[in-house]
Structure 1
Amino acid sequence: MQINFAILLICFQFVWAQSTHAESNELWAVAESATHEISIVGFTRAHATIPLATEVAGKVKEIFADIGESIPEHGKLACLDDVFVQFDIQAASNQIAQHTNQMSYYQKEVSRHEQLVAKQSAAVNVLDNLTRELVNSQREMQAAHISKQRFDELKRRHCIKAPIGWLVIDRAIEIGQWIREGEVVAHIGDYSKLIVPLMLTEHELAALKQKGRFDVLLTEHHLKVPAVIEHISPEFDENTRKILVELAIQDQLPEYRGGIRVELTLAIPSEDHVFSISEKALDQRYEEYWLQSKDGKSIRVNLLGEQKDGKVKINSPEIKLGDQFRLNRK
């Protein structure tokens, strides 16, 4: 009797272990939020562009960069004829030299008359006049230095300066041409980093922010390159209800110019009650599709289409995000 009881106990433990092992090995599929991909196309532009204008009027003497060329190391696009400014600088230098001689003379005379007045060998009013002339010479010397500084600065402004390495987009001057003060003579751009402006909806912008680091496709070159969000405008377009977003691309580019076609792919969440799940969880009966939940309930779903990685898109109002369904062992 005791032996029969022991045998029954062993059999019970074996059956229980087998059922537990089978249950632990049961595979489940999780209902995930379904997405659909959209492609948004934009074109590259310079990271920054600025107009260049002359600060003085004059005749163009030299041009250092043509359209499409970079600004040289000295940071100048062009220079105007400055011969008359050079004459003014020479005149100011001569005045400085003249006032230097006058100051030296009056300093000696003042020093000599101070000794004579101390010995009562000269009148005090003569010393006062000499002191006044010395002070006037010092003031005139200061004015001459200021005049020379002004002419030096005016000479520097006869050259149209620009950031080193920027590219000339357009140019409206030629050598020998007369240009007016304040006239825009060229536009230049910084193409060391390219900007791709895009107009996005709120959902598209949210999907872009969730991507973190992402790549964009240069369709003309069949090349993917990394991109980052450079700016997000706080305003929106009243007609399209979209927001201006600027992407920046800098590395791994085959060329740096405007007009390169760029394609951004975003995964946008689908509408309510649309989910993504493993195709192996579906049980097809005739032309209908079913899922079996953990509690054994069969739920009829609508098959909307196939997705990547062996998943399908389904629709059912009875399913919630995160629900688990049994995988079919096929």
Structure 2
Amino acid sequence: MRLLSLSLVAFVWSMSTAAAENTFVVRPSFQDVPLTAFTRPRAVVRLIAEEKGRFNSVDVDVGDTIGEAQRFGCLDTVYVDLSIEANRARQKRLRRADLDYFTRQVKRFRNLVERSTTAQSSLDDLERQRVGTRAGLTEAEVEARKLKERKRRHCIEASKGWQVTERRVDPGQWVNAGDPLGRVADFSVLLAPFALSYPEYQVLIAYTGPLSVRLVDEGIDVEATPIHLNPDFDEATRKISVDLALDKGVPNKRGGLRVKLVLRLPDASGAVLVPVAAVQERYEQHWVTGTDKVERAVVYLGEIEQDGQRWARVVSPQLKAGDRVIVP
């Protein structure tokens, strides 16, 4: 009797195992969408002349890297140097001649007024002139700071490590304030601009781990970080602008490198995956059988290989991911 019970349990277990082995949970089907962009520098700055003058030197050319001096080139400073010298002479005159003189005169006339030997108006006039001289000295000091700043702006500066992408001036060339001189760019980090549809955008921001892209021309894969997620969209393309930052692993940081991004999206056709053996064909119609023993007509879209197995891509309004089908 006990042997019979054990045999019955073993039979039930084997049947349930077989049933489990003969059913399958329908899987969603995905399609890989390749997107391509070209690298560009993280930042680009236009260099503009802030003063007019003749270029005395241009220290870099296209392709050069800005060095420790952080200098693109310098204008001739002869006239601003002369203005600085004239300002120094004016300050010296105001401080050592006029201001000292009026200070001594005010002190002397104050004593005379106290002894009632001169009029109060004479003292007031000297005091007014001393105050005016002090104000003139302050104006000269402010003018000196302006001249110093103007001289500094005669040299066009750029950030250290940036590269020159455009040069529009040569030594000896005259420029006016506001004229464009060139461009410098920061290639320490590359940006790959993509235009994504909203479903593609949702898939991208859902990534939790490192995002991998392929540098097609270099033949290598590198990590990328999504930045500059534009909340607006381009009305012409009706896409969302997203920049991917490529920092590490890029051997040749420059613009124009092809970047391939592959996003795995749900199959647009609504297809799902079932084992090939679960699809039966009769009279040019394909069927799958659910666990309720009801056959469902499906549209057969072909086979794919995934995870080392063959799967059939099928579409049916009666079949969705998560349903269970029987594999004969």
Structure-1-length-normalised TM-score: 0.86
What is aligned with 1:141? 137
Q: Counterpart of 1:90?
A: 85
Number of the residue aligned with 1:263 = 260
- 1:12 is aligned, of 5, 10, 23, to 5
C-alpha offsets along residues 74-133 of structure 1, whole Å, 9 cap, x if unaligned? 332111001110000111011111111121222222223323322334443332232122
For the Cα contact (< 8 Å) 1:288–1:300, is it kept in 2?
yes
CA contact (8 A) 1:282 1:289 kept: no
**Alignment identity in percent?**
27
Residues 236 and 128 of structure 1, relative CA distance in 2, 3 Å threshold: closer
Cα gap change, 1:316/1:176 in structure 2, threshold over 3 Å: closer, same or farther? closer
CA-to-partner distance for each residue in 1:228-274, whole Å, 9 max, x for gaps? 22234412243x44343322211211121101111111222213441
In the alignment, does 2:300 pair up with 1:307?
Answer: no
Q: TM-score, normalised by structure 2?
A: 0.86
CA 1:48–1:62 in structure 2 vs 1: closer, same or farther (change >3 Å)? same
Q: What whole-Å deviation, never above 9, does each CA across 1:37-89 have from its counterpart, x for those lacking one?
A: 12222110111212111011111012222211222233321110011100001
Q: Which residue of 1 aligns with 2:323?
A: 323
Aligned-partner Cα distance in 2 for 1:278–1:311: 7
- Measure, in 2, the Cα distance between the counterparts of 1:151 and 1:316: 78
2:269–2:315 CA contact under 8 A, matched in 1: no
Q: Does 1:235 align with 2:233?
A: yes
Check if 1:51 corresponds to 2:46: yes
Q: Which amino acid aligns with 2:152?
A: R
Gaps of 5+ in 2: none
Moved more, 284-293 or 184-193: 284-293
Partner-residue secondary structure (3-state), 1:307:
strand
Label 1:188 to 1:13 Cα distance change in 2 as closer, same or farther (>3 A). Answer: same
Name the counterpart of 2:220.
223
Structure-2 residue corresponding to 1:187: 183
Give the corresponding residue for 2:100.
Answer: 104
Distance, in Å, in 2 between the alignment partners of 1:18 and 1:74 is 86
Conservation of the 8 A alpha-carbon contact between 1:67 and 1:169: yes
**CA separation in 1, counterparts of 2:275 and 2:56?**
74
1:311 to partner: Cα distance: 4.5
Deviation at 1:276, TM superposition (A): 2.0
Q: Distance in 1 between matches of 2:279 and 2:184?
A: 64
Separation of aligned partners in 1, 2:152 and 2:177 = 14
Cα distance change on mapping 1:316 and 1:153 into 2, 3 Å: closer
1:157 positional shift: 1.7
Aligned residue type for 2:186? D
1:294 to 275, 291, 295: 291
Match of 1:168 in 2: 164
